[in-house]
Amino acid sequence: MKGFSYISLLLLGLFALSCETVVNYELPINETKIVVEGSIENGHPPLVILSKSFPFFGNVNFNDLDELLLKNAVINVTDGNRTVTLMEYNKQALLDLSPEDFDLIAPTLEQFIGFEVDQATLDSFSIYLPNFTFYTVAPADIDFIGEVNQAYGLSVNLVNDSTFGTRELTAITSIPGLVNMDSLWVEDHPNSEIDTLFQLRTRFKEPDTLGNFYRYFTRVNGGAWLTSTASVFDDAFINGESIPFSVAKGQTERAKLEDPDFDVDGYWSPGDTAEVKLCNITQEHYQFWRTVENEKSNNGSPFGSFTILASNINGEDAVGIWGGYASTVLTLIVTEP
C-alpha cells in the first residue's frame, strides 16, 4: 500500500523559489516493511492480505502485484477456544477448488478483489490477471466466522522469506457490540440547481458510553463495498445522541486519486439500490484508518503534515492492522424525495 510509505516534505522547496540560495534536499530511502491488512467481521471468516511496502517515490504498476504480495506464510487465527490455520489462495488454488468449495470461498474472494466473480469467469480471464495472493479459511473451516463481543488473536509466521527471512508477527483485536441504524432516507442535493443527484441520510442512536468508534461502507446495485475519503468517525461530539448524518457514496481507490467534483462525488442517482454498512470498531482499528485517510489526503500537498500511521501489529519490520467489524446493513432504493 502506497499509504504506508513515509513522505518527505519535498514540495516545501517551492517556497524557496524566489530566494537566491539553492537548497539541495536528499530524499530518504524508505525501509521495506511487512504490511498486514487483516479483518474479521461478524458473520464472515477472517481475511488477511500480506504485502511489502515500496518507496513513495518509486514506480509500481498493476503487474507488480505478484512481487508485492507475500506468499507461503503460516497464519493462524484464534478465538481462545478454537484455532484455525488460514489457507493461501491464488488464481490456481481457486480454480483447483471444487465448484461447491469455490462457492463457499467466493464471498471472501469478492471482498478481496472488489467485485463478484464465478469460477468459470475467473478461468476465462485468469490469463489477464496478476497472480494475486490472499489468506482466508479453508472450505472445511468456513464455519469459523466473526461473532460480536469476541476477541481474536492473529499470528503470522514467515520462514526464509526472500526479503524478510524468518519473522513472527502477532496482533489481537475484538469485534465490539452492534450499533444499529434506525433508517435511511433521501434528501435533495444541497445545490438546488442539481435535480438528478441526491444525498442519502441515515440516523442511529449512539450509545451513551463515551469511546465508540465507527467506519462505514456503501455499495450500489450489489457491487463492491466501498468507502468515502473520510470513512471513520468517533463519538467525541455525538455521545449518547440520536443523530442524522449524510452517507456519501463510496469511491474506488482510483476515483479517490482524481480531482474531486464536489457536486457529483458522494451523491446518489435515482434507481440506485443503496446499501449502507455501519461498523462499530475498536479504538486501535479507528486510529489505523484515520491515519491512513489523513495520509492519503495529504499526498502531493506542500501543506500536508507528516503522518505516523497507527498499527497494532507486533513484530519486527511490520506495520498494519488486524481489526474487527461489528456490522449492520440497511438497504434503500433511491427515489426523488
Q: Is the pLDDT of residue 323 over 60?
A: yes
Other CB atoms within 10 Å distance of the CB of residue 238: 15
Q: Is the pLDDT of residue 61 over 90?
A: no
Q: Over pLDDT 90: what percentage of the chain?
A: 67
Q: Say if residues 217 and 225 touch (Cβ distance below 8 Å).
A: yes
For 2-22, what is each residue's pLDDT tens digit? Answer: 333 322 222 223 223 333 434
pLDDT of residue 294: 87
For 24-36, what is each residue's pLDDT tens digit? Answer: 434 344 688 999 9
Cell (9 digits) for 32: 521495506
Average pLDDT over residues 239-253: 90
Q: Is the pLDDT of residue 209 over 70?
A: yes
pLDDT of residue 35: 94
**Which of 19-37 are b and which e, b meaning 16 or more Cβ less than 10 Å from the residue's Cβ?**
eeeeeeeeeeebeebbbbb
Name the residue type at position 72: N
pTM, to two decimals: 0.86
**Which of 94-115 are b and which e, b meaning 16 or more Cβ less than 10 Å from the residue's Cβ?**
beebeeebbebbbebbebbeee
Q: Which of 136-140, 193-197, 236-240 has the lowest mean pLDDT?
A: 236-240
Residues 6+ apart with CB under 8 A from 255: 265
Distance (Å, rounded) from C-alpha 219 to C-alpha 257? 19
Residues 6+ apart with CB under 8 A from 176: 148, 149, 212, 280, 281, 282, 324, 326
For 75-130, what is each residue's pLDDT tens digit? Answer: 999 999 999 999 999 999 999 999 999 999 999 999 888 878 899 999 998 888 87
Largest Cα span, the chain: 70
Identify the band that residue 63 occupies on the pLDDT scale cut at 50, 70 and 90: low
